[in-house]
Amino acid sequence: MIPRLTNALEFQSQALVLRAERQRVIAGNIANADTPGFKARDFDFATALRNATAGSVGNNSAGGPGAGLGTGIARDVMTPGGRSQPALNYAQPQQTQLDNNTVDMDRERGAFVDNAVKFEATLRFINGSVRTLQEAMKSANQS
Amino acid sequence: MSMFRIFDVAGSAVSAQSQRLNVVASNLANADTVAGPDGSAYKARQVVFQTTLLGTTGHREATAGVRVSTISEDNTPGRRVHDPKHPSADADGYVTYSNVNAVEEMVNMMSASRSYQNNIEVMSTARSLLLKTLQIGQN
């Protein structure tokens, strides 16, 4: 019963952690926009999320309602904070620069804003799930 | 929580950019100074940025801050102007001015100020995201 309640939350929290991680990587790129020889880094969010939720309860909740109930909950409990690290890739520069810096400021700003909006969206999904659960508990108590 | 690292990263960049602005200001202030009694005029200075990894856990290369590694001096010879009446003129009547290029410095200043603004923007975005994260499940 409990895994069923927290399945959706578990998946969204993985997404939130990865969004925070990506925000940090992009902040590093923006900070090093003027550093000679710096190579811009980034990771593919979809792949990272698929890897992070593979075999855990979060993946099952995405797969459909009721799929694989009660499996994999121990994994996250056993390894707090032991979430998989996304593999960082190197950005391909649109234009090469004389100082070998591959930070494209327009791209980074776009990615930063995009990631911030999606981070907020994930927060709203979590808040929505929490509110749904609270409503469900409330009506049971009132009737 | 990895998002708190954003403040370290952006903060390091803000501090590095402000140091760059400092050097630009010093260059511009000395754009018209002449050679002192030792015969050497002010030399334009440039900051050299270097990536510094701030992360302690997980991907260390993901938290790439920046710091000023060295401040290099421009060794091109300064401007020499023939002005025998000048108190700092040498035996041939030439006065040596500093080798600061004012146009270059202005471009440098704009670049530094834009980068500064970018990093402040990063910090304020991270701040608002963190504040919203604090309010999870409260509404």
Question: First CA to last CA across chain B, in angstroms?
Answer: 22
Q: Is A45 on the interface with B (CB under 8 A)?
A: no
| B31 close to B46: Cβ distance less than 8 angstroms | no
Q: What number is the average pLDDT over the span B8-12?
A: 92
ipTM of the modeled complex? 0.81
High-pLDDT (> 70) share of chain B, %:
91
Nearest to B10 among A31, A41, A113 (CB): A31
Q: Which residues pair with B96 in a beta bridge?
A: B80
| Amino acid identity, position A35 | T
Backbone torsion region of residue A112, taken as left when φ is above 0, otherwise alpha when ψ lies between -120 and 50, otherwise beta = alpha
CA nearest to B126, candidates A24, A9, A34, A72 = A24
Taking residue A15's Cβ as centre, other Cβ atoms within 10 Å add up to 22
pLDDT of residue B45: 92
> What backbone torsions phi and psi does residue A57 show, to the nearest 5 degrees?
-65, -30
Q: Is B50 on the interface with A (CB under 8 A)?
A: yes
Q: Which residues pair with B65 in a beta bridge?
A: B52
- pLDDT, tens digit, 9 for 90 and up, residues B32-62: 888 766 667 889 999 999 998 886 666 666 7
Which of A9, A30, A135 to mutate against chain B (most B CBs within 10 Å)? A30
Residues 74-103 of B with CB under 8 A from A: none
- pLDDT, tens digit, 9 for 90 and up, residues B98-113: 999 999 999 999 999 9
Domain boundaries, chain A: 2-142
Q: Is A35 on the interface with B (CB under 8 A)?
A: yes
- Residue A61's pLDDT band (boundaries 50, 70, 90)? very low
Angle at B58 between CA A101 and CA A34, to 5 degrees: 15
